[in-house]
Structure 1
Amino acid sequence: MTYAAATQDQLLAIRVNAGIEELAAHDRFAAAEPDMVEAIVEGVGQFAAGEFAPLNRKGDLEGAKLENGVVRLPDGYAEAYGHYVEQGWNAIASPVDFGGQGLPFTLACNVLENIGTANMAFNLLPTLSVGAIEAIAHHGSEELQQKYLPQLVSGAWSGTMNLTEPQAGSDVGALRSTAQPIEDGEHAGKYRIKGQKIYITWGEHELAENIIHLVLARLPDAPEGSRGISLFTVPKYHVAADGALGPKNDLRCVSLEHKLGINSSPTCVMSYGDSDECIGELVGQPNRGLAAMFTMMNNARINVGNQGVQIGERATQQAMGYAKERVQSARAGSADRTPVAIIEHPDVRRMLLRMKALTEGARALLYYTAGHVDRGTLGDAVGAARAEVLVPLLKAWGTDVGVEIASLGVQVHGGMGFIEETGAAQHWRDARIAPIYEGTNGIQAADLVTRKLGLEDGQVLFALVDDIARDGADEPALAVLAQECRTIAEWMRGEASLDDRLAGSVPFCTMMAVAVAGWQLLRQSRAVADGAAPALAATKPVTARFFLDRIVPEAVGLRAAATAGAAGLYQLDSAALAG
Structure 2
Amino acid sequence: MQVYEAPLRDMRFVLHELHGLDTLRELDAFAEIDADLADSVLEEAGRFSSEVLLPLNATGDLEGCHAENGVVRTPAGFKDAYRQFREGGWPSLASEPDYGGQGLPESISKLVEEMTCGANLSFSLYPGLTHGAVQALKAHGSEELKTLYLPKMVEGTWTGSMCLTESHCGTDLGLMRTRAVPNEDGSFRITGNKIFISAGEHDLAENIVHLVLAKLPDGPPGVKGISLFLVPKFLPDAEGNPGQRNGVLCTGIEHKMGLKGSATCQMSFDDATGWLVGQPHKGMAAMFTMMNEERLGVGIQGLGVGSAAYQAAVFYAKDRLQGRSLSGVKRPDLPADPIIVHPDVRRTLLTMRANVEGCRALGIWVAQAVDLSKHAKDPAARQNADDFVALMTPVVKALFTDLGFESASHAIQIYGGHGYIREHGVEQYARDARIAMLYEGTNGIQALDLVGRKMPSNMGRLLRSFFHPVAEWIEQNRGHASIAPLVGHLERAFGALQLATGTIGERGLRDPEEAGAAATDYLRLMGLVAMGFMLAKSAAIAAERVGENADETGFYQAKLQTVQFFFDRILPQTASLFLAIKSGKASTMALAEAAF
Into which bin does the TM-score normalised by the smaller protein fall?
A: over 0.9
2:282 is matched with: 288
Greater CA drift, 374-383 or 565-574: 565-574
Asked if the contact 2:237/2:244 (under 8 Å) is kept, the reply is no
Q: Which amino acid aligns with 2:473?
A: D
Residue 533 of structure 2 corresponds to residue 513 of structure 1: no
2:71 and 2:575 map into 1 onto residues whose CA distance is 51
Deviation by residue 1:331-373 (Cα, 9 ceiling, x = unmatched): 1242678510001111111111111111111111111111111
Residue 300 of structure 2 corresponds to residue 300 of structure 1: no
1:109 is matched with: 110
Structure 1 residue 2, shift from structure 2 partner: 3.3
Change over 3 Å in CA distance of 1:343–1:436 after alignment to 2:
same
Structure 1 residue 50, shift from structure 2 partner: 1.1
Deviation by residue 1:395-423 (Cα, 9 ceiling, x = unmatched): 11110000100000000001111111111
| Number of residue pairs matched by the alignment | 570
Residue 195 of structure 2 corresponds to residue 235 of structure 1: no
1:168 is matched with: 169
Identify which of 555, 559, 562 aligns with 2:578. 559
Structure 1 alignment gaps of length 5 or more: none
Asked if the contact 2:542/2:557 (under 8 Å) is kept, the reply is no
Greater CA drift, 534-543 or 545-554: 534-543
Greater CA drift, 533-542 or 171-180: 533-542
1:96 and 1:531 map into 2 onto residues whose CA distance is 38
2:593 and 2:245 map into 1 onto residues whose CA distance is 49
Structure 1 segment 78-117 matched on structure 2, within 5 A: 78-117=79-118
Asked if the contact 2:329/2:337 (under 8 Å) is kept, the reply is no
Residue 55 of structure 2 corresponds to residue 61 of structure 1: no
1:411 is matched with: 413
Q: Which amino acid aligns with 1:459?
A: R
1:384 and 1:466 map into 2 onto residues whose CA distance is 15
1:227 and 1:460 map into 2 onto residues whose CA distance is 25
Greater CA drift, 108-117 or 328-337: 328-337
Identify which of 236, 246, 250 aligns with 1:249. 246
2:172 and 2:13 map into 1 onto residues whose CA distance is 40
Asked if the contact 1:8/1:535 (under 8 Å) is kept, the reply is no
Deviation by residue 1:310-343 (Cα, 9 ceiling, x = unmatched): 0011000101001111001111242678510001
Q: Which amino acid aligns with 1:443?
A: I
Structure 1 residue 384, shift from structure 2 partner: 1.3
Structure 1 residue 525, shift from structure 2 partner: 2.1
Structure 1 segment 127-276 matched on structure 2, within 5 A: 127-183=128-184, 188-273=185-270, 276=271
Asked if the contact 2:136/2:287 (under 8 Å) is kept, the reply is yes
Greater CA drift, 194-203 or 333-342: 333-342
2:563 is matched with: 544
Change over 3 Å in CA distance of 1:535–1:38 after alignment to 2:
farther
Change over 3 Å in CA distance of 1:333–1:536 after alignment to 2:
closer
Deviation by residue 1:76-117 (Cα, 9 ceiling, x = unmatched): 111110011101011111011110011211122122111111
1:208 and 1:246 map into 2 onto residues whose CA distance is 14
1:327 is matched with: 321
Asked if the contact 1:357/1:547 (under 8 Å) is kept, the reply is yes
Structure 1 residue 221, shift from structure 2 partner: 1.7
Asked if the contact 1:182/1:191 (under 8 Å) is kept, the reply is yes
Deviation by residue 1:523-563 (Cα, 9 ceiling, x = unmatched): 12222233396662231111111112211101221112223
Greater CA drift, 84-93 or 65-74: 65-74
1:51 is matched with: 52
1:505 and 1:83 map into 2 onto residues whose CA distance is 43
Structure 1 residue 17, shift from structure 2 partner: 4.7
Residue 403 of structure 2 corresponds to residue 390 of structure 1: no
Residue 349 of structure 2 corresponds to residue 352 of structure 1: yes
Asked if the contact 2:18/2:541 (under 8 Å) is kept, the reply is no
Q: Which amino acid aligns with 1:176?
A: R
1:340 and 1:72 map into 2 onto residues whose CA distance is 46
Asked if the contact 1:18/1:370 (under 8 Å) is kept, the reply is no
Deviation by residue 1:455-509 (Cα, 9 ceiling, x = unmatched): 3311331452343244244322211110111111112222332110111010010
1:137 and 1:546 map into 2 onto residues whose CA distance is 44
Greater CA drift, 25-34 or 142-151: 25-34
Residue 368 of structure 2 corresponds to residue 371 of structure 1: yes
Identity %: 41
Asked if the contact 2:496/2:574 (under 8 Å) is kept, the reply is no
**Structure 1 length-normalised TM:** 0.96
2:481 is matched with: none
**Structure 2 length-normalised TM:** 0.93
1:99 and 1:294 map into 2 onto residues whose CA distance is 24
Asked if the contact 1:192/1:280 (under 8 Å) is kept, the reply is yes
Asked if the contact 1:465/1:485 (under 8 Å) is kept, the reply is no
2:68 and 2:337 map into 1 onto residues whose CA distance is 50
Asked if the contact 1:506/1:562 (under 8 Å) is kept, the reply is no
SS of alignment partner, residue 301 of structure 1: helix
Q: Which amino acid aligns with 1:122?
A: F
Structure 2 alignment gaps of length 5 or more: 377-381, 479-483, 547-551
2:432 is matched with: 430
